[in-house]
Copies of this chain bind each other. A is one copy, B any other.
Amino acid sequence: MAYQQLFELETYLQAKKVQVEAALAEAVTLEQPASLRQAMEYSLLVGGKRLRPVLCLASCELAGGEPRLALPTACALEMIHTMSLIHDDLPAMDDDDLRRGRPTNHKMFGEAMAILAGDALLCQAFEMVAGRSSGVPAQRLLAVTAELARAAGAPGLVGGQVVDLDSEGKRVPLETLEFIHLHKTAALLEVSVISGALIAGAAEALVADLRRYARNIGLAFQIIDDILDVTADSATLGKTAGKDLLTEKSTYPALLGLEASRRSATQLITAAKAALAPQGEAARPLLALADFITTRNH
């Protein structure tokens, strides 16, 4: 990608991110109980790439929609993502103490509050779409709500997390690993892209192309996450990566090796971009986002 384009993407992402963060900062309007609001906002307003909301806004724009109309849905996507991080970090799940360098929600507010803050964010996500999106035809919002419910629930995030927990400490086949990632990561990225287009009233053919784009970047995203985990671990542990791969929990690098994983991610990104070829110039932000996913280092 040329320097000029990179610069433009940075500007584009930054502008969208600012827009999303302003909307998120105003989203939790709950007054009582203040402790619940605090726990919700602690994890929601912590920053991060805001990749899901930005994908939603960019896809709305590509489909000819006013991104402003997709802003409540963009917030909903970040709420669902945040909720899944809060619940996954719980002692009964991955038992993590730190998230983005700060104490996890349950370390800060206790387990009960962390469970409830997650539940509250999940509910508010649906309220954002169904109750706080003005100017969008009801039929479109209903379709987004249904897609979102599937992506967040048993056929998506939750199902992926169940299989992930069940696979801990086991060597699982590539098929299982793909199931986990398609559900745990790709499903929400897919609805992030699709929802923006649905809100804009995109034609079925465009929605199908965007779905293909989204599935491919979703899987690539997770492979790259796995690669980054491994390379980070190697550096920290000061051991050769190869040895760790044999003993660690199942990841793409562990199952395929580092080089094959990298090739696989690159192929997926290429396929993702090919899906948007019919859109020409208008697809540039989404193409750039696909590149951003491949080249990110955290």
User: Which residues of chain A have a CB within 8 Å of any CB of chain B?
Assistant: 28, 30, 32-33, 35-37, 40, 83, 87, 90, 92-93, 110-113, 115-116, 118-120, 122-127, 129-132, 137-139, 141-143, 145-146, 148-150, 152-155, 158-159, 161-163, 165-166, 179
Of B112, B120, B154, which is within 8 A of A36 by CB? B154
A32 touching B123 in the complex, CB below 8 Å, given contacts A115-B92, A116-B162: no
Complex: how many Å from CA A93 to CA B37?
A: 18
Residue of B nearest to A80 (CB): B123
> Residues of B contacting A132 with CB < 8 Å?
146
Q: By the criterion CB–CB under 8 Å, are A162 and B131 in contact?
A: no
Chain B residues with CB under 8 Å of A137's CB are: 138
The residue that A154 contacts in the complex, of B120, B131, B145, B153, with Cβ under 8 A, is B120
The winner among A122, A129, A163 for most chain B CB atoms within 10 A is: A122
Q: Give the 4 A-B residue pairs with the shortest CB-CB distance, closest first.
A: A123-B153, A131-B146, A92-B111, A127-B149
Partner of A130, one of B112, B130, B165: B130
Chain multiplicity (copies): 2
B124 contacts A30, C-beta separation under 8 Å:
no
**CB within 8 A of A90: which of B93, B115, B165?**
B115
User: Of all chain B residues, which has the CB nearest A36?
Assistant: B162
Contacts known (A33-B166, A131-B146); A154 close to B123, Cβ less than 8 A: yes
A166/B30 in contact, CB under 8 A: no
- Chain B residues with CB below 8 A from A162, complex form: 33, 35-36, 113, 116
CB distance from A89 to the nearest CB of B (A): 11
List residues of chain B with CB within 8 A of the CB of A110. 92
Residues of B within 8 A of A142 (CB): 130-131, 138, 141-142, 145
**Bound-complex Cα distance A119 to B123 (A):** 10
Given contacts A122-B123, A149-B126, A153-B127, contact A159 B33 (CB under 8 A): yes
Q: How far is the CA of A120 from the CA of B161 in the complex (A)?
A: 11
Q: How far is the CB of A144 from chain B (nearest CB, A)?
A: 8
Cβ of A37: which chain B residues have Cβ within 8 Å of it? 154
- The smallest beta-carbon distance between A15 and chain B, in angstroms, is 29
A145 touches B130 (CB 8 A): yes
Given contacts A131-B145, A145-B130, contact A92 B120 (CB under 8 A): no
Q: Are A150 and B131 in contact (CB under 8 A)?
A: yes
Chain B residues with Cβ below 8 Å from A33 are 159, 162-163, 166
Residues in chain B near residue A35, CB distance under 8 A? 162, 166
